[in-house]
Amino acid sequence: MMAPLYEFGRFGDGTGLVIAVLLGIAFGWFLEQGGMGNARKLAGQFYFTDLSVLKLMFTAIVTAMLGLFWLSWAGLLDLSRVYVPETFIAPQLVGGLVFGVGFATGGLCPGTSCVAAATGRKDGLALIAGMFAGVFVFGEAFPAIGHFADSTARGAWTLPQAVGLSYGTVVGVMVAVALGAFAGAEWLERRAERPAHRMKIAA
Amino acid sequence: MSNKPAPYASPYLAGVGIGVVLLLAFVLMGRGLGASGAFSSVVAAAVNTTAPSHAAANAFYTGYLSDGATNPLKDWLVLEIIGVVIGGLASGLLAGRMRWTTERGSGITDRRRLVNAFVGGTAMGVGAKLARGCTSGLGLTGGATLSVGSWLFIIAAFMGAYAAAPLLRRAWR
């Protein structure tokens, strides 16, 4: 049986929507378990005191990346039928910067704000309201800025294509970068725990 | 709600869990997880309901209304996000972490924190739509599929956050 199952007609849209709810439940469960519904914990990422965001995100990326790689290597999954977010260089760089400033200000991202709100955090609700406002502002501004938003399009462009290395090599490099990032994150957290450094932050 | 909250799980463990969920989305659906797209579907449907001709003249809104699905509840990402709320609620209930409160640093008031959250959310709404995704759709889905634009977004987002963080120190201390 070849994956993706939906792409090969193994089930229809109705079943796909049920799967959406079930995958969402598991996604929300693990986000809350990892503390991602708590803005104070997330904000620790930006002051090098709690790097859970980096650890959780990078672990999730590497897990799914390795799964895709091995399933495709074993001939069980057709990678060409898996959606790759398209590249728009300039709008993604500018959008990323704006998003990042919003992330540090709001302390939650769009997905985690839903978990924060679900567990009673009023700041999660306020952030959701802000997201709706921001999307509406963008929608109303689209006739003016749509040209920029659609610029520097590169389609479904992947890192192996961009750097001219094999898929397996890039996957290996990503795993090495992740392990290095985890070691750095652990070191930063231990450093933040030291009394001398705590006083320096407070001063 | 007075019970002692359970400590959070290891971020590595939770990360593996989310990675497996993301992989299941690829294997079952051929698509990844997302979040900001659900907000877009709801906004597009709301604009379409209140001002249909205004929505029809705007390519951003029509992009989210294109399959004739003016009911956002038929949208895959909207249903996924409804699941996220249910899953977050279930986990929070079982772990004793439900609190009707405002998470903030001690340097600011609740009201200031709520304003910050709204302003931050607005910036993220604009940024995510400009970039065509957020920490879920670009960060996780694009990260795992090695999309160039997604990695550019991730790097830019952390740069933006680290640039703004020193100015916001009081809000989180």
pLDDT in tens, A21-70: 999 999 999 999 999 999 999 999 999 999 999 999 999 999 999 999 99
The confidence score (pLDDT) of residue B72 equals: 73
| pLDDT per position as a tens digit, B119-164 | 999 999 999 999 999 999 999 999 999 999 999 999 999 999 999 9
- Reply yes or no on whether the pLDDT at A20 is more than 70: yes
Give the residue from B42, B60, B80 showing the smallest Cα distance to B129.
B60
Distance between A69 CA and the closest CA of chain B, angstroms = 9
CB A28 within 8 A of CB B35: no
CB-closest option in B35, B125, B134 to A133? B125
Region A7-34: mean pLDDT is 96
B-chain CB neighbours of A122 within 8 Å are 100-102, 110, 114
Specify whether the CB–CB gap between B104 and B110 falls below 8 A. yes
- Interchain CB distance below 8 Å, B84 and A111: yes
C-alpha span between A155 and A13 (Å, rounded): 26
Q: Please write the tens of the pLDDT for every residue from A154-192.
A: 999 999 999 999 999 999 999 999 999 999 999 999 999
Q: Which chain B residues contact residue A55 at CB under 8 A?
A: 11-12, 15
Residue A33: list chain B partners with CB under 8 A: 8-9, 13-14, 17, 91, 95
Higher pLDDT, B43 or B70: B43
Q: Is residue A29 within 8 Å of residue B90, measured between CB atoms?
A: yes
B142/A120 touch (CB, cutoff 8 Å), yes or no: no
Nearest to B85 among A67, A89, A114 (CB): A114
Note whether B54 and B47 are within 8 A (CB): yes
Asked if the model's pLDDT at residue A202 lies above 70, the reply is no
b/e per residue, A129-161, with b = 16+ CB within 10 A? bbbbbbbbbbbeebeeeeeebeeeeeebbbbbe
* pTM for this predicted structure: 0.96
Is the pLDDT assigned to residue A117 strictly greater than 60? yes
**Residue B39 vs residues A157, B66, B153, B168: alpha-carbon distances, Å:** 26, 16, 19, 26
pLDDT for A203: 46
* pLDDT at residue B66 is higher than 90: no
Question: Please, what is the average pLDDT of chain B?
Answer: 94
Report the pLDDT value the prediction gives residue B3, as an integer from 0 to 100.
Answer: 66
pLDDT in tens, B152-165: 999 999 999 999 99
Return d(Cα A22, Cα B41) in angstroms, integer: 20
Contact present, A88 and A151 (Cβ < 8 Å)? yes
pLDDT at site A182 = 98
pLDDT band at A201; cut points 50, 70, 90: low
Query: Which of A5, A83, A149 is opposite residue B130, by nearest beta carbon?
Result: A149
Q: Could you report the predicted ipTM of this complex, rounded to two decimals?
A: 0.96
What pLDDT score does B173 carry?
85
Q: Is A123 on the interface with B (CB under 8 A)?
A: yes
Q: How many whole angstroms separate alpha carbon A20 and alpha carbon A25?
A: 9
Nearest CA in chain A to B137: A85
